[in-house]
Structure 1
């Protein structure tokens, strides 16, 4: 299932103790649309590894499909599941994950905005992303913020970016504020642009503080050359009143 690239590999636990985890397409584009393969899917299993009885496909771990390389996954306190996903050179995505639904890859990149994509989306009931970036920014780990400590971030997704070298995009923290239903992005803001390098993951603590994890010492052409005290950090963000 896993390979040297496009592995996904993000894990989250639901309130019913079932485990969700992401698997990329392993750079094999045909697999995300094949329901006999777990590549290009978000999976759901019981703690003992068995298939939950209420999964959408009887006997299968598949929860959703048609994914390229889902890098972030969070089950929010609003009950929704969100994922961030790498596009090829365009259309990095944030998706609202729904039971049994198709997210389009490789037939659809981002929104259903070409003739062939629109036809596929209609025929296969494809879910469009909540938000997409073109060119890509290298979306990565994410968390849901719903604390009063930073009021302007309440009911929003916090998302790290990895990619640099594309003008004014990438390597920053993105804030996607949601509507009351958690089903639409109503505001978008960016923080710490090119300040800490590659923001690999985001964690919201119970008291409203936020931790960022950077990863600048990777074998990756986009990695920022950071040395000494600014290399690979756990960064704390908190409100100052």
Structure 2
């Protein structure tokens, strides 16, 4: 649990009003799709609870991230360049300088993180396309929400220069850790040399101080001559879409593969995750290419063929979740479902379950593509859909007796 969640636990009461809800008696068990996936029946002695899915808000457009900000309110980023507050089931768009946001293709207003001192400062962070009048990039920006939660004021750019081309593979997820560091997951901008070039901020996870913007002092290349390299935490990534911290403090990422091998990675400081799509942008190479110099860290779970388009991810907590307690909940865009992955303390994959009520292809619930997953202090999950045309919703998922 991040310090953010601890800070708002006393304040957060999610809106009780709901547009609709659905529940299920059980979940389907599905095997992993690759050799690294193991058996879905291992470690499954705990009971599997029914899950209830409730619509918290409707009428959103590509909501990329959602976070609680206290007082029963939620803050949401919409990829087109809008911020919104959800309060008592109603969506209120914020007044903000949207002209600071560059939105193209997969890139726009994306990842969101709330400062641990938000209750006093109103400070929050976004990862987004920027510099729309010049050469676009992806960057992390600092904002302040006013006391009435009606206006977001741009304060400064914390870090910039993540590569951007057409908007493809723009990342970008944010996570604030218990030690105060900010973790940033970036995309490779569909440029083959970026992931393993340590002086590029693309295809990496980065770690920095969210107040000063300086590289985090324990980063593996903190003494590098090139300043960008000092921010690098891990490298060799294709397009990081999700970041999560487990209760044991380990850091995990969810990553898009090309036509195969979406990955869940256990992040190690200085680790090489083996994506090297050269010459040009050669997507036929392995996601984790073990033929490269040095040591490449294999994924803890891989989708095999085809991909499911793994996106946001968060660890589940609470005894009421039964078998799901301690699993990594991962949203799938292409496969339109929520996947729960179980790992042991060492990171070994133990099994996978996909609840029927959160699998559009089976249940016909009509939720469609799923983008973000946020774990709340009371153990509930928030999920955003990513279907566009202002048809998107925020869902709340909770176990029921």
Q: TM-score by structure 1 length? A: 0.85
Q: Which whole-Å CA distance do the structure 1 matches of 2:343 and 2:193 have between them? A: 33
Given the alignment, which residue of 348, 356, 372 partners 1:201?
372
Counterpart of 2:343?
178
Q: How does 1:61-140 map to 2 (within 5 A)?
A: 61-106=231-276, 109-110=286-287, 117-120=289-292, 123-133=293-303, 134-140=305-311
Counterpart of 1:232?
392
Counterpart of 2:209?
46
Segments of structure 2 that go 5 or more residues without pairing to the other structure are 1-161, 224-229, 278-284
> Which of the two has greater strand per residue?
2
Larger Rg: 2
Given the alignment, which residue of 318, 321, 325 partners 1:150?
321
**1:209 CA drift (Å):** 1.3
Cα deviation digits, residues 203-230 of structure 1 (max 9, x gap)? 1111121121111116xxxxxxxx9xxx
Cα deviation digits, residues 109-138 of structure 1 (max 9, x gap)? 345xxxxx4332xx3210000111121111
Q: Which whole-Å CA distance do the structure 2 matches of 1:144 and 1:182 have between them? A: 15
Q: Alignment length, in residue pairs?
A: 216
Structure 1 runs of 4+ aligned residues shifted over 6 Å read none
| Native 8 Å contact 1:110 1:128 kept in 2 | no
**1:182 CA drift (Å):** 4.8
**1:106 CA drift (Å):** 2.1
Cα deviation digits, residues 160-198 of structure 1 (max 9, x gap)? 0001xxxxxx1100000111x151210111122223101
Segments of structure 1 that go 5 or more residues without pairing to the other structure are 112-116, 164-169, 219-226
Counterpart of 2:191?
28
Q: Which whole-Å CA distance do the structure 1 matches of 2:398 and 2:291 have between them? A: 46
SS of residue paired to 1:202: strand
**Larger RCO: 1 or 2 (CA < 8 Å, sep 6+):** 2
